[in-house]
Structure 1
Amino acid sequence: MNKSRTVIGYINAAHFIDHYAMLIFAAAVIVLAPIYSMGYSELLPYATPGFVAFGAGSLATGWLGDRWSRRHMMVIFFFGIGASLIAVALTQTPVQLGAALLAVGLFAAIYHPVGTAMLVSYADKLGREIGINGVWGNLGVASSALVTGLVCQYLGWRWAFFLPGAATIALGVMFMSRVQHEVRSGAKGGGSARIAKGAMRRVIVALVVTIIASSTTFNAITVALPKLFAERLSDLTTSPALIGVIAAGTYVFGALAQYVIGRLLDRHSLKAVFLPLSVLLAPLLFFGAQLGSWRLILVSIGIFIGTFGQVTINDAMVGKYTSDEWRARAFAARYCLGFTAAGVSVGLVAWLHDKGGFTLMLQTFGVLCVLVVVGALIFPGERLV
């Protein structure tokens, strides 16, 4: 029988890898665009198919996780995403680059429905484990901007993909030897919330509205941040490495927010945490649209606290209201919706940046985040049992 802490440890590491891998290109594109004699807005959309696959592929991977084996699917995740990153490092043209990034997205689609369902099954305290898992994922986001900037500056962009690809395959070998397939006989985590009869429809509507708005904004801001800082922090630095350090620092605040939100969810009802958090994003996005220098950094910290914290809220909704038998498929639907919408945001970022710069982009997503408040207001009260 697998030990809970061993399984959760590997699942947390996989979450780190998942987000790290998906955002390497967002930082490397600043270096790659001149190499291909293309502008930022021209080359960035080559990542769109990969981000769409990241969401759309979760339906099939979640089904396979429930019907076949979550452990076996995670083995495929480690080896597939590692090989795909190495393939990106070997590309020679933008078309090859887009195809390799598509492969990264397809294998990355395994983690969230399968890995999160596996985590919840082994969790004793749902909020705490989802919060800690969120920290690992968003440290992956932070490290991606930081390490990619450093590697691109000192070793070259190809090493920024090759090194994490090789490390991921090595971790897959360790996972395969330490974690065995188990026939699930019941859930340890999740299913602890109860709502008034007939209110499940409000849960679903609130979840759908919130996922579309928050996931699209989350992905847009994380993809755009290296370029946003490169443009608006020019009075502080023009070094890709230092910009990566600053971006990583802002991501860390979001990751810590996920841990805090997770702990709060173990002590308070979901709505009591959800509603105050929901009002944070829209005002900060509007305010940040006009800012630069250190003031933009401070506002970006607040934006990431709101967006990263919302991810924990969304995962807790699914974890609390689904049984273990259906959990991977429920997470698959959640992430298919969220990441497919998020995938569209990559092209939207490029289009908005071309039309009105980051001022228009941030204002547009500020309008979208009003829907997060709507979702929080719709969400019903609950009682914990």
Structure 2
Amino acid sequence: MVHTYELSIPILIPLWLEAFPVERATIGTVVAVGYALFGLGALPGGVLSDTLGSRRLIAACLFGMAGSFVLLAAAPSLPVVALALVCWGAAASVYHPAGLSLISTGVEDRGDAFAYHGIAGNLGTALGPLAVALLLLVADWRAVTAALAVPAVVAGAIAIRVRFDERAAVVEADGGSSAPEDVRDADDAADTGGDSKAGVGVSSLGEFLSESKRLLVGPFAAVFLVVMFSGLYYRGVLTFLPDLLASFSAFAPVEFAGREMQPYRYAYAGLLMVGVLGQYVGGKLTERVPTERAIAVAFAGLAVLALVFLPAVNAGLLPLLVVGALLGFTLFVVQPLYQATVAAYTPPGTRGLSYGYTYLGVFGVGALGAALAGTILQYADAAALFTVLATLAVGGATTATALSYR
């Protein structure tokens, strides 16, 4: 649901330009504020997850996103649209730290859980915008946005009623645990850093500052740098990729059944769908190989793919599709790897705070990747953009390699 809402917003922008007499720059600023809160709210969301528990926070996230899109459907003016998007960003921002904290402390088969969780996110990313586009064929944007609120309300109601042990995979104070040995080892390793909290979360400003300092002066600082490189590459390559694909002759518009089809849209959705497989493979790798080394290899692959992308365009449609598929796979294989790495380098009691910092880096700092890509494309060209992306990937690979030898 989070990624369905996130990726449906760009589809609605042209319709808002028709409904409200404003410039594109104004709409862009409004949307940017909502996306910024999506990343910046992850840190306080992580603190709340440790304090209130993940289940309650996830339910609040779902109801908040649903309410935001109901408000959006009824918006009489652009300021109300802006308010709705701000509310959506704030509500959606708490999901990743809460959901990933829940997986890391409540699920024994952590790798499989991260993999299935990532698959669901990718399905929302790829199928959500497609569903919105299809609904817009039979209804206006207000009815579509209102309809989008329904599944989130249903999911929120389930989240309120379901009962489970949120800390089933956490090592208890007496040493007993039902978690598998690899999970126990990871949590034991994370708990060796002095008297870092293991069970009660962050409940005051002083504890927030002390636990943040403990995280950011240890090996988690390197993990945080890795996720920033990942976020910058992710936003940098995906934000303007549809526009780039549309400019290639291989994806020129075609006529079908009296309608003009835009092949680049389906190629872009296909790239995101391949990411589903990447998420699954990444989750499996967390149980079989050291995640730091796997991240280094994946980033090295992203660097190579950035350098060969434009040559593949010139080589023809088939090479371009192959490189695009590999890019989608590798781009998303990184995510469960760094999610599991965060769990291995942080104590269970502040896992929500740890994932809050993680998604502050991925979506907050990473949002700068979109601005970076736009600036490069405006003042240089696509070759310069992919060179910068390759440099970011090399930075991620180098950091992960250094962490693996620590």
Q: Same fold (TM over 0.5)?
A: yes
Amino acid corresponding to residue 283 of structure 2 in structure 1: G
Deviation at 1:224, TM superposition (A): 3.1
Deviation at 1:185, TM superposition (A): 9.4
Structure 1: where are the runs of 5+ without partners?
A: 1-16
2:38 matches 1:54:
yes
Equivalent of 1:288, from 296, 309, 314?
A: 309
Relative to 1, partners in 2 of residues 1:20 and 1:241: Cα closer, same or farther, differing over 3 Å? farther
Indicate the residue corresponding to 1:259 in structure 2: 280
Deviation at 1:278, TM superposition (A): 1.6
Indicate the residue corresponding to 2:227 in structure 1: 211
Indicate the residue corresponding to 1:249 in structure 2: 270
Deviation at 1:108, TM superposition (A): 0.6
Q: Secondary structure at the match of 1:91?
A: coil
Q: Residue 105 of structure 2 contacts residue 166 of structure 2 at CA under 8 Å; is this kept in 1?
A: no
Deviation at 1:40, TM superposition (A): 6.3
- Higher Cα Rg, which structure: 2
Partner Cα distance (2:37, 2:29) in 1: 14
Indicate the residue corresponding to 2:48 in structure 1: 64
> Which range is displaced more, 184-193 or 120-129?
184-193
Q: Residue 151 of structure 1 contacts residue 159 of structure 1 at CA under 8 Å; is this kept in 2?
A: no
Equivalent of 2:352, from 323, 328, 349?
A: 328
Deviation at 1:27, TM superposition (A): 3.5
Amino acid corresponding to residue 56 of structure 1 in structure 2: L
Equivalent of 1:312, from 336, 339, 351?
A: 336
Equivalent of 1:364, from 375, 379, 388?
A: 388
Partner Cα distance (2:385, 2:254) in 1: 23
> Which range is displaced more, 24-33 or 70-79?
24-33
Structure 2: where are the runs of 5+ without partners?
A: 172-178, 194-214
Deviation at 1:104, TM superposition (A): 1.2
Indicate the residue corresponding to 2:97 in structure 1: 113
Q: Secondary structure at the match of 1:267?
A: coil
Instruction: Count residues with an aligned counterpart.
Output: 364
Equivalent of 1:222, from 238, 255, 259?
A: 238
Q: Residue 254 of structure 1 contacts residue 305 of structure 1 at CA under 8 Å; is this kept in 2?
A: yes
Equivalent of 2:294, from 267, 270, 273?
A: 273
Deviation at 1:111, TM superposition (A): 0.7
Indicate the residue corresponding to 2:82 in structure 1: 98
> Which range is displaced more, 77-86 or 277-286?
277-286
Amino acid corresponding to residue 314 of structure 1 in structure 2: Y
Q: Residue 102 of structure 2 contacts residue 166 of structure 2 at CA under 8 Å; is this kept in 1?
A: no
Q: Deviations over 1:119-170 (max 9, x none)?
A: 2222122212111211111111111332233334443433443222222112
RMSD: 3.2
TM-score by length of 2: 0.78
Partner Cα distance (2:42, 2:378) in 1: 31
Q: Residue 191 of structure 1 contacts residue 322 of structure 1 at CA under 8 Å; is this kept in 2?
A: no
Indicate the residue corresponding to 2:196 in structure 1: none
Indicate the residue corresponding to 2:60 in structure 1: 76
